[in-house]
Every structure is written in structure tokens, then in C-alpha cells.
Amino acid sequence: MSYLISHQEKKIDSCFKIKGSKSESNRLLILKAFYKNIFIKNISNSEDTSILEKNLKNLKNKINVNHAGTAMRFLTAYLSIQAEKNFEIYGSKRMHERPIKVLVDALNSIGADIKYLEKDGFPPLVIRGKKIQKDSISIPSNVSSQYISALLLISPMLKNGLTIKLKEAIASRPYIDMTLFFLRNIGVKLISKQYEIKVTHTESIKDFEYSVESDWSSLSYFYSIVSLAKNASLKIDKFHKNTVQGDKRLVQIYKNLGVRTSFKGSSVYLKKDVSLKIQDRIILDLVDCPDIAQTIAVSCFGLGISCELNGLHTLKIKETDRLFALKNELEKLGASVQITDKSLHLEKSEKIKTNIKINTYDDHRMAMSFAALAIKIPIIINDPMVIKKSFPDFWTVLKALGFKLSKIN
């Protein structure tokens, strides 16, 4: 099934709410599994968060995380310290192609017992829970911040705490900072330096209640829509100027792509800056926020400007090889794109082909980033329900903004 998406007016003026951040919710769920007196409000309704929550509430010997990469990584660490218990954790075909060796090696080095069921370095895994005594670990930090966050989240539960030594340049540092933010706020003592983090064993905490902020990654698609619209004004709840989410870089990036951002109370306001003359080319390093690369690339293409996006080496191990997928689908629309292992180079395009079928590669961000182009031209999104992974309400919100969605075979 596919959606043919279009927007007759090319203008929008509306208000709506986005559910809680997937990244915040998933970290809090792991901590809540350890400390029962953590209370979470406005939790994400994403499929990823639902999978994690369901498995933590009803821990079975065989665990299927499907496409949920965060659940795979966080649960691998969590299960490894469930002493005297045995588990098998697996997922979708693509999940079994996503590397996990760095995390498994790190956990095994401090006393965990994790083995591969099929191909070395990849799920599925067999985990025999252990009481871990060792208190120091070194881990490459240029591959995935989720490996480090997974270790940080179990650190307070280890008898001697844990010191994590980070090797090489750190990818997606804001996500590590988010994990540290929650550890500090629940009362865990820690010391964080540039390349070393020491977390103290913490048996219990005081009652902690937290209302999850809405998801900035999901907000990115509306930045894109506003930038591509003839005119647009949106009020979106619930977002904070002083957010802990790394994708807040959207504010500065899209300021140069024609979107003004302002905050009032718990709402963010996005407005098309019709007076701005957008530069012909932008160059960005997205090593701290690679999840918004697809959205930015599509925005630049729709605006008819060129871009050079760097720091994207982690995109090759996401739900799909996102650099390869972006190149394929943008070229179908008439773009000229070059990619390397860590960058994307898009040339300026004069025209956009209409009614093109966009493949989504089992990747929620492919569907939503390309859907933004529908504010300019009719576009077809194949397998549109992949959006459930992070933003189940996406198509409902688009309809409320005046987009027309027609099901086609």
C-alpha cells in the first residue's frame, strides 16, 4: 500500500501536539525498571518505546525487538546483569544486519556472558545474566552513542559502579549528555569528563516524576514543511527552549532555510520567513544530530539549493543504509547526489519530478522526510506505515494541516 500525498493551498496555519520524545522515554524506562519510584508522564507512543516497555514489564526468555534498535542495545545491557537468568534476544531481518559487536565486547570485558547465535558481531544473541564486579571499561565512541548510553544506564546497578573510558571522537554526544542528565536528576552521583565518565553505585533514589518533552526529531519534518511552503505558521506543543535533545540544532539550521522559531510557555512557534533570501549552498557537520540529515537534505532539494552534509558515518547502520537510500530516492526526483561513507553532497536542482514513488526501506525517517515535499508537489510514499516506529500520528497530523492522502496500490 502507498499514499499519494499533495497539498492544494501550499500554505498552512495550524496548531497541534507531538507526543513525548522516544529518546527520553526509552532512557527513563530502563531506569524505571531499576527504580520503581520513577513516574513518567507524556511517554512516547512510538513503536520502539512500546516494544521496550512491553518487554521490561513482562520479561521473557525469548525477546523479539523487531526493528527497535534502541531496544536491542538497551536491553542487551539490561539483560546482561539479570543474574541467574538466561535470554535470547532477536529482531527483524534488518536488525540482524545491524552491528552490536562494540557493545557486546564491552559488556563481556567486564564479566557479562553474551554469545552470538548466528553471525559474529550481530544479533541474535544469547545472554546469561551475571553479577558484574569489574568497574572499568574502554569503548570506541565514534560508532554509536547508544552503546555508551546502554552502559551508562546499567552503571548505577553495578556493585562497584562503572568508569567508562571513551576512545576516539564521540558520535552524537548530545544523546550521551541526555543519559547523564537523567542519571543526575534521579540522584545518581557521577563525574563526566570529555573522555571519561565515572558513575557511582546507587541502591535507591527518592521519588522522581518527569514529564517527557515532545520529540524534536519528529518536529524536524514540520520545520521542513514550513521551509518549503509558500507561507506557514505553526504552533506545536510541548517543546522547551532549554531542551536536553540534541536535535534542537534545527532552530539554527532552519533559520538559514527560512524558518523563524520562537517559544512561549510550553509551545514552539514556527513561521515562514518570506523575506529571507536563502543562500545557494549550506555546509553542515551533523555528527551530533545525524537523525535530521534526511530531513535537511530533502528540504535543500525542495528549496533548490545545494548542500554538503558531513559527520554522517552512523547513518549506514541505522534502519537502512540511509545515505544509500537518500541518494537513490533523491535521484528519482531529479537530484544530483554524491555520497561517501560519512557525507552527502547535493547539487542545486531547478525542477522536481512529480508523482514519483518513494521507497522507504523499512525506515520511518525516509517516509516522513520525503512526505514534506508534498507541500510543493504530489508525491507517492510506499509502505507509509513505517512511521509507527517513531511517530504513529504523523499522517493524522498531516491531514489536519490540509494535506490530501489517497491510498493507492
**Has 215 been annotated as catalytic?**
no
Tell me how far apart the alpha carbons of residues 104 and 99 are, in angstroms, rounded to a whole number.
10
Residue 118, φ and ψ in degrees, nearest 5: -125, -95
Residue 174 identity (one-letter amino acid): P
Query: Cβ contacts of residue 363 below 8 Å, gap of 6+?
Result: 318, 319, 320, 322, 325, 386
271: nearest Cα among 303, 235, 217, 221: 235
Say if CB 281 and CB 307 are below 8 A apart: yes
Catalytic residue, from 48, 215, 247, 291: name it.
291
Using the 8-state DSSP alphabet, how is residue 214 labeled? B
Provide the angle, in degrees to the nearest 10, between the axes of the packed helices 322-332 and 364-371.
30
382: nearest Cα among 318, 325, 321: 325
Say if CB 377 and CB 228 are below 8 A apart: no
Residue 130, φ and ψ in degrees, nearest 5: -135, 160
Q: Which residues of 77-107 are buried (b: 16+ CB within 10 A; e: fewer)?
A: bbbbbbeeeebbbbbbebbbebbbebbbbbb
Say if CB 34 and CB 182 are below 8 A apart: no
Q: Which helix (H) or strand (E) holds 71?
A: helix 69-80
Hey, which residues are catalytic here?
291
